[in-house]
Structure 1
């Protein structure tokens, strides 16, 4: 159950970072109203809070989040922006995800 809970926290943190960043992007790059940027900033701040719900120390959490973020960013781009990941995107994301799962979930003494 601990693994499932931590994965859910990583996913929520990822949604906050990607979603918040996307709103800021829309505001600055695509001329959306200021409130997009403000809301994006608030959501980005929530990302910092959500990440603290992980039981492990800062370094390992953020290292692991980096790999999960890669996968989530590709999914976001595919579903929201119409970007179609190619086989190299998928291979790279799989390698990153396997690596961070080893970092975070490997049994330690």
Structure 2
């Protein structure tokens, strides 16, 4: 597999994760933390952007893209929690995230 192809897949997953996790966080802040409709609205826009970003993945199979993205989402959510919410994952969080990333890599980067 071409290095540029691999970098594109990874970059699109990172952008999608930022949009989805950030969007969900904004909605959470708007509703649960009572920060208002602007946060909710921005979150909805970010969540829509996540859907658009996923369409740029080079693999033509929606199911594979979303299944592999699930692994990225798990690891990205932990990273977001660490940076934004000062969450401290335990060994089981790290282990689970590593397994999810391994699965995502196998699905997206395996030779076919």
Please confirm whether the aligned pair reaches a TM-score higher than 0.5, indicating the same fold. yes
CA distance in 1, matches of 2:106, 2:39: 37
Mapped partners of 2:87, 2:75: distance in 1: 13
Structure 2 gap segments, 5+ residues each: none
Q: TM-score, normalised by structure 1?
A: 0.97
Find the aligned partners of 2:69 and 2:93 in 1 and give their Cα distance: 18
**Residues 1-109 of structure 1 aligned to structure 2 (within 5 Å):** 1-56=4-59, 57-108=61-112
| Structure 1: tracts of 5 or more residues without a match | none
Partner of 1:4, secondary structure, is: helix
Distance 1:47 1:99 in 2: 21
Deviation at 1:107, TM superposition (A): 0.1
TM-score scaled by length of structure 2: 0.94
SS at match of 1:30: coil
Looking at secondary structure, tell me which structure has more helix per residue.
Answer: 1
RMSD: 0.6
Number of positions where the alignment pairs a residue of Structure 1 with one of Structure 2 = 108
